[in-house]
Amino acid sequence: MFVIGQQIKSDSTLVDKDGNRYPIKVLLDGKLWMIANLNAKIPNSYCYNDSKENCNRYGRLYTWESAEQGCKSLGEGWRLPTSDEWWQLASRYAGSMQDSTAIRNGSFKTLLSAGTSGFKALLGGGRDPDGRYARLDAHGFYWTATETDSNTAKFYNFAKGSQALYQQDEGEKVRAFSVRCVK
């Protein structure tokens, strides 16, 4: 358990309005993170290939705006993490080497579902604006709260092929990606 200011942070479970349960954990960056993908059913959120089984396994995919709404719906203080918060998390789990390549490669392995961090990132693919789904079990795309411009926002990409975690700047906000919330 960690105490930050007057707020107590500890590993626990969070329950959304649909009754979905999410383990939450204080990670090395000192923040409380969901360690499962958001699965709250809200407008502009989707199950990969419209399959409930995929929602149960990977969580739902959200447009950028619905991602922000989904995190806020979890209660006071819950929100979509910024790009800087994702980078801080990745750098804490990258090992002793701290250049950007080492962070991308080291954090990929430790933050994945089989990794040692407990973060349990999944390769849930994504949904294009035209409704096509792609890259299941090949990429895990995660929104950040950091906007690039009015139409795009930054996201993080767990790329299985290159075994690395990349920050990407041009995520069209109408695409649907996975979500982890932070407090």
Query: Would you write out the chain's pLDDT as a tens digit for each of its 183 residues?
Result: 333 333 445 569 999 999 999 999 999 999 999 999 999 999 999 999 999 999 999 999 999 999 999 999 999 999 999 999 999 999 998 865 566 787 888 899 999 988 899 999 999 999 999 999 999 999 999 999 999 999 999 999 999 999 999 999 999 999 999 999 999
**Is 112 contained in some domain?**
yes
C-alpha triplet 63, 136, 115: angle, nearest 5°: 100
SS3 70: helix
* Domains identified in the chain, total number: 1
**How high is the pLDDT of residue 5?**
39
Q: How far apart are the two ends of the chain, measured CA to CA in Å?
A: 14
**Is 177 contained in some domain?**
no
Distances (CA, A) of 168 to 32, 58, 67: 23, 21, 17
**Is 107 contained in some domain?**
yes
Domain of residue 127: give its range. 2-172
**How high is the pLDDT of residue 10?**
59
Is residue 57 classed exposed, middle or buried when 0-12, 13-18 and 19+ CB atoms within 10 A define those classes? middle
* Whether the Cβ atoms of residue 106 and residue 96 lie closer than 8 Å to each other: no
- Distance between CA atoms of residues 121 and 140, nearest Å: 7
Strand partners, 112: 121
What sign has the CA pseudo-torsion 30, 35, 37, 42? Answer: negative
**Is 53 contained in some domain?**
yes
pTM over 0.85: yes
**Is 182 contained in some domain?**
no
**Backbone Cα Rg of the chain:** 15
Distances (CA, A) of 26 to 4, 141, 171: 11, 22, 28
Strands 133-136 and 124-127: antiparallel
